[in-house]
Structure 1
């Protein structure tokens, strides 16, 4: 019998434990000595193949110098609910759910993004992103907006890596024509989208307004695929107050089928690029 795939929560906790251990300058052997186990157990915990007891977790966090009580409790809650499938994160003033989204982007090898009304995050220019954040219902401060825009630009660096993930973006034509920030913002944004379409690992398609009924009428979503067979796909759906991460086979298969259907309904990459350039010229 195959071993169950690690849940989103367990994968997130594992990723954080690696970051915290490395930031503290500790080795796996030192972490194993701290909680009285073999290095193999630490490796399995950090690869999300094994859960961790709450006592061991608290002991490791203290060993790594983590003394923020609220952060410790957040990680303890992740461990406590590590066996549960799916995950909803709510947005606060600091938009914590982006940490999860970034983690999936950084570790995936295939990203499929359907965005009917907005330019996909990995394709956004700084001015476009800034305009979106300024309209956020959380009433973000200027410094928070600047931080989020900088983070978004850093996220896009994965597209230039040697091991860059494959990215397929399906944009609704409405996203191209919506004047976010006005023509002066949209012109370079459409140029950026056209530029990305030339990357060998990136496919950009546009779903035209005259498509009629299609599989994406209920809204945008992102499907993350991972190179490790033990890790299931993760679907992310963002909404006004947070984001929902889904990982059961039934859920991810439905969204994958929806994405495949949208690819068939969308214009070809070449025709999509022509439309992007035509909308750009109209501005």
Structure 2
């Protein structure tokens, strides 16, 4: 266990790390969730929720749980400090413009070190201009929240983003011609940033699994964290974290990278689409 706090760019990521750490410690101790539940005198469902991040772990539970899981007494204070940091509120917590089901994603996005995304409908939220987001959302609060999320691209340790956009995204008119031209110009500028990679999947690309829908993979700075895949539909969003699930989406993204236009060709296509709107 390192002496310093684990890399934690948002409280949400801290809560995720603690949930994973509880599961890791329990499995390393050879204990079942029912064993831990007996020690905490609670229903086993609570342990399931603690390890899946549905319920954030509190200091009192940690003080009982950690020694039981084999953590030396002198190290408990370190975990409690991490717990305090993880229980702080992010700017997205309680923001009425952000649905409850989406708040978790925003918190994880704010603390991610890398994002790989495939988008078939619209320009990914991190790349949207204010005018494009306004035309798309028609909700000032939601637009402000979306633009604030983009601060992750400008932090001292910037978020690394590899985005693949379906060519239809460049053609689908959101707002008037000026809005779309501004958005496409913005994509061109973003593509020049060292931590941003943008590729376009052309209409004439051979068949690929991207037709199954958009998705995002979020990577985190914690060592050995495999990341999570985020999916969304009309009913909300959900995360996939099982190794076999992650492997499928990692393979799908690698295939999309190969089939999409290279960066320079993608930038040229984006520039041509913008020029057509002048």
State whether TM-score is above 0.5. yes
Distance 1:259 1:182, change over 3 A: same
Q: Deviation string for 1:96-128 (max 9, x for gaps)?
A: 223111111111111001101210110001121
Map 1:87-126 → 2, pairs under 5 A? 95-126=99-130
2:271 maps to 1:277 = yes
Is 1:154 paired with 2:148? yes
* Residue 157 of structure 1: how far off its partner (Å): 0.9
Report what 1:133 is aligned to. Answer: 137
Q: CA deviation at 1:45?
A: 4.5
Partner residue in 2 for 1:185 = 179
Q: Which runs of 5+ in 2 are unaligned?
A: 1-22, 29-49, 64-72
Is 2:56 the counterpart of 1:13? yes
Aligned length: 215
- 2:80 is aligned, of 22, 34, 42, to 42
Asked whether the equivalents of residues 172 and 206 of structure 1 are also in contact (C-alpha less than 8 Å), the reply is: yes
Cα shift at 1:40? 4.0
Q: Is residue 243 of structure 2 the alignment partner of residue 239 of structure 1? A: no
C-alpha distance 238-121 of structure 1, shift in aligned 2 (>3 A): same
1:21 aligned partner: none
Task: Tell me what 2:188 maps to.
Answer: 194
After TM superposition, the structure 1 = structure 2 runs for residues 188-227 of structure 1, keeping only pairs within 5 Å, are: 188-227=182-221
Partner of 1:75: none
Divergent runs of 4+, >6 A: none
Match of 1:258 among 240, 252, 260: 252
Q: CA RMSD in A?
A: 3.1
Question: Residue 228 in 1 paired to residue 222 in 2?
Answer: yes
1:231 & 1:97 partners in 2: Cα distance?
A: 23
Question: What TM-score, normalized by structure 1, do the two folds share?
Answer: 0.68
Alpha-carbon deviations, 1:262-283, whole Å to 9, x = none? 0000000000000000011111
Residues 147-188 of structure 1, C-alpha deviation per residue, up to 9 Å, x if partnerless?
A: 111111111011011100211000000000000112121010
Contact 1:8 1:247 in 2 (8 A): no
- SS of the aligned residue for 1:97 comes to helix
Query: Which consecutive residues of structure 1, in runs of 5 or more, have no partner in the other structure?
Result: 18-27, 49-60, 65-70, 72-91, 135-144
Deviation for aligned residue 1:229? 2.3
Contact 2:97/2:141 (8 A) holds in 1: no
| Paired residue secondary structure (1:13) | coil
Q: Give the direction of change, closer, same or farther, for the CA distance of 1:195–1:94 in structure 2 (3 Å limit).
A: closer
Is the contact between residue 116 and residue 218 of structure 2 (CA under 8 Å) also seen in structure 1? yes
* Alignment CA distance shift 1:202-1:217 (3 Å): same
TM-score relative to the length of structure 2: 0.69
Q: Partner of 1:54 in structure 2? A: none
Question: How many Å apart are 1:8 and its aligned residue?
Answer: 5.1
